[in-house]
Amino acid sequence: MNGSADLGKAKSLAYYYLGRKAYTQKELGEKLLKRFPPALVKEVLAYLSDLGYLDDRKYTLNFLENKKRARRGPRKIILDLQRRGVEPENLARVKENYSCEEEETIARELAQIKADAGKSPEQIYRFLLGRGFSLSTAGKIAGEFFKRRTNDAGTSDHRDGDSL
């Protein structure tokens, strides 16, 4: 009787947690392990997975879309998902669902904001890396802003020379 009562309490607590926010299997398992034995937690996680309430694949895709809207790069998203215990096959979905074009577009938008704020191409490059964009994307976008800056400086020097 006590085992089924504990199972009911564990399921109840799991439902409570899932009602507040989405969790990966690992995250929810860690929370439940604070109060219940491992065998019971494993049973609850399997039960919730069978019902579709705990699905790391769906979690990964939702997380990816939310982080894209927050203008995060794929490297940062993958790192965050790894920390949450998402399996490698689900991490591969990030690469499949985050195209190079999307990455460059988002990085370019962020770089423009930084450039408008007077940041140098080097600062833009470091910022993009910190946001999780690939080395190649950050280098390409920062290079574009370096060329613009160089062209703008050359144009303004040329105009100054003409006005003398």
What are the distances in angstroms from CA 83 to CA 77, 79, 93? Answer: 10, 6, 16
Q: Which residue has the higher pLDDT, 92 or 152?
A: 92
Binned at pLDDT 50, 70 and 90, residue 155 comes out as: low
Q: What is the DSSP letter of 134?
A: -
4: which 2 tokens?
Answer: 């089924």
Q: What is the pLDDT of residue 161?
A: 47
pLDDT in tens, 102-152: 999 999 999 999 999 999 999 999 999 999 999 999 999 999 988 877 777
pLDDT of residue 129: 97
Quick one: average pLDDT of 85-110? 94
Q: What is the largest CA-CA distance in the chain?
A: 96
Residues 98, 123: Cα–Cα separation, whole Å = 24
Q: What is the C-alpha separation between 133 and 127, in angstroms, rounded?
A: 9
What is the structure's pLDDT at 141?
95
Please tell me the distance from the alpha carbon of residue 104 to that of residue 110, in angstroms, as a whole number.
Answer: 10
CA 54, 43, 47, 21 torsion-angle sign = negative
pLDDT at res. 146 = 85
pTM: predicted TM-score of the whole model, two decimal places: 0.80
Q: Specify the higher pLDDT residue, 163 or 19.
A: 19
Q: What is the pLDDT of residue 17?
A: 97
CA-CA distance, 28 to 125, in Å (whole number)? 36
37 secondary structure, DSSP code:
-
For 40-80, the pLDDT digits (tens) are 999 999 999 999 999 999 999 999 999 999 999 999 999 99
Secondary element (H or E) of residue 114: helix 100-116
Residue (of 132, 39, 65, 55) closest to 87 by Cα position: 55
